């Protein structure tokens, strides 16, 4: 007597499956735009294009990179924050655009938490502290002693106020309780020229940018800024190993969508990005560029953004750096 109701329930269940699938919104509906907050040709752009190619293959639609440089990435971030929340426009966010800019710009026209839906972290990288070979410091401890013995005579160059190499120096200043002089430039390249020429004592720069100079003996590496050593510089200790407790400057890159993007779209994007970044091909590619493939869940990426906003706010404030 109970067979008929059971058959009806089973039949209804199978009928609802194609109905639900038919009602689910198709995604993507066409080419997806990945907005990159820096000009074409730089390391951030290269990383975004590597992801875009592979992500497009998995989505079945081209992922087009759109470079919108300016204002430390704020122009691009604002554009995506105002875009339709349908997953067709995505943002290639960085530590700078999502965690540092809120403290650096007093009139920021986007909110990293309110205006965005995190999708997934993509990769992380780190800086390396290098000095001119003529500097009498063979390790980070020597450099700290030198800075304490001669306050404000140790100088470091950066790509500009609020850049990761500037804030790496500020974190060193506060962590080691030393007085060092910041010299901002319009980009890392001119700062490196003065470091090589002996007009600067030291500089923080990305590991990938400095491996060639280190191998050629043009600069001396003292420490890397990450929580663990870089595979490209296995003999160079971390700043923590060299004596600076809790010193960690990890630079990250990840994908975000406008706030309000449907959960199924975020889940699909997260699933595909995790799949792309988990391949041996992408892991090797990232390592060759001095980075580490590190996909996460959307929630984990969101927690990282909040953590780093809280971390870098006091550092930016102590540095006195402001941009508008």
Report the CATH number at residue 286.
3.40.190.150
pLDDT tens digits, residue range 213-238?
999 999 999 999 999 999 999 999 99
Calculate mean pLDDT across residues 93-110. 94
45-91 pLDDT per residue, tens: 999 999 999 999 999 999 999 999 988 899 999 999 999 999 999 99
pLDDT at 25: 62
pLDDT confidence tier of residue 321, bands split at 50, 70 and 90: confident
In a domain, 231, yes or no: no
Domain that holds residue 104: 32-125+250-319
- Flag whether pLDDT at 4 surpasses 60: no
pTM for the model: 0.87
Q: What is the pLDDT of residue 10?
A: 47
Same domain, 115 and 177: no
Q: Are strands 63-67 and 32-36 parallel, antiparallel or unpaired?
A: parallel
Structural domain includes residue 324: no
Task: Give the count of domains, the chain.
Answer: 2
pLDDT mean over 23-48 = 89
309 in the same domain as 164: no
211 and 142, same domain (yes or no): yes
Average pLDDT over residues 190-217: 95
pLDDT of residue 22: 42
């Amino acid at each position: 007597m109970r067979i008929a109701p059971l058959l009806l329930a089973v039949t209804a269940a199978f009928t609802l499956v194609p109905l639900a699938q038919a009602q689910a919104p198709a995604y993507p509906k066409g080419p997806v735009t990945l907005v990159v907050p820096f000009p074409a040709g730089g390391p951030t752009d290269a990383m975004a294009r590597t992801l875009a190619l592979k992500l497009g293959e998995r989505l079945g639609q081209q992922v087009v990179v759109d470079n919108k440089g300016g204002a430390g990435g704020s122009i691009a971030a604002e554009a995506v924050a105002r875009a339709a929340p349908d997953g067709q426009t995505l943002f290639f966010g960085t530590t700078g655009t999502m965690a540092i800019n809120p403290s650096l710009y007093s009139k920021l026209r986007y909110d990293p938490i309110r205006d965005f839906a995190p999708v997934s972290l993509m990769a992380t990288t780190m800086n390396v502290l290098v000095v001119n070979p003529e500097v009498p410091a063979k390790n980070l401890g020597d450099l700290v002693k030198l800075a304490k013995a001669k306050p404000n005579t140790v100088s470091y160059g950066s790509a500009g106020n609020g850049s990761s190499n500037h804030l790496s120096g500020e974190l060193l200043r506060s962590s080691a309780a030393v007085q060092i002089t910041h010299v901002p430039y319009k980009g890392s390249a001119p700062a490196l020229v003065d470091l090589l020429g002996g007009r600067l004592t030291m500089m923080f720069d990305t590991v990938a940018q400095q491996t060639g100079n280190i191998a050629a003996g043009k600069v001396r590496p003292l420490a890397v800024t990450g929580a663990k050593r870089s595979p490209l510089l296995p003999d160079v200790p971390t700043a923590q190993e060299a004596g600076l407790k809790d010193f960690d400057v990890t630079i990250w890159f990840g994908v975000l969508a406008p706030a309000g993007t449907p959960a199924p779209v975020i889940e699909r994007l997260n699933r595909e990005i995790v799949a792309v970044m988990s391949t041996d091909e992408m892991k090797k590619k990232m390592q060759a560029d001095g980075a580490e493939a590190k996909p996460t869940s959307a929630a984990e990426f969101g927690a990282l953004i909040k953590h780093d906003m809280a971390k870098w706010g006091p550092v930016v404030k102590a540095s006195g750096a402001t941009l508008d």
